[in-house]
């Protein structure tokens, strides 16, 4: 596809049309990374691009990751809807802040960081579970 055809295809699929100022630098970067290459074209004034083998492999990996993300997102969305229907605004904002903090640190995760975050989340979950048990015990008395 050419850059303009890519812009049209993105718009068709998403409703958003990227500008030439974003598509062409991206194509150049993909070409530098050996993910795409110029394809032969019958039109003399139009550059067309195709995926290289490396690009096809990367696309397959993204497809695998997208499927995993879709499954995780579906679960998170169900939990989110179930929990937040009964929350007051302050508690809701606090939980949103937690999710945003987790999202913002994800690009920086290394083994040590992951272990630390897991520990923090386990402690928080333990405290919330203890509170729930205490509240349930109080209701039974």
Give the pLDDT confidence of 1-60 residue by residue, as tens digits. Answer: 999 999 999 898 888 899 999 999 999 999 999 999 998 877 778 889 999 999 999 988
Domain count, the chain: 1
Question: Tokens 């993909």 identify what position?
Answer: 30
Give the range of the structural domain holding residue 20, as residue numbers without chain letter: 3-51
Confidence of residue 82 (pLDDT cuts 50, 70, 90): low
The reply to whether 38 falls in a domain is yes
Residue 138 lies in a domain: no
Instruction: Print burial letters for 9-24: b (CB count within 10 Å at least 16), e (below 16).
Output: eeeeeeeeeeeeeebb
Closest among 73, 36, 70 to 52, alpha carbons compared: 36
First to last CA, the chain: 70
Is position 12 within any domain?
yes
What does the alpha-carbon distance between residue 28 and residue 25 come to, in Å, rounded to a whole number?
5
In a domain, 31, yes or no: yes
* Mean predicted confidence (pLDDT) in 124-138: 92
pTM over 0.85: no
């Amino acid at each position: 596809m050419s850059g303009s055809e890519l812009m049209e295809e993105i718009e068709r699929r998403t409703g958003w049309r990227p500008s030439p100022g974003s598509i062409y630098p991206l194509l150049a970067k993909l070409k530098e990374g050996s993910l795409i290459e110029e394809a032969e074209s019958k039109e003399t004034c139009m550059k067309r691009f195709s995926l290289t083998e490396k690009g096809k492999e990367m696309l397959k990996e993204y497809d695998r990751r997208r499927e995993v993300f879709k499954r995780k997102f579906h679960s998170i969305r169900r939990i989110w809807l179930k929990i937040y229907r009964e929350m007051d605004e302050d508690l809701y904002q606090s939980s949103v802040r937690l999710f945003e903090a987790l999202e913002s640190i994800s690009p920086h995760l290394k083994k040590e960081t992951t272990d630390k975050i897991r520990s923090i989340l386990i402690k928080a979950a333990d405290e919330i579970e203890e509170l729930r048990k205490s509240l349930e015990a109080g209701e039974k008395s």
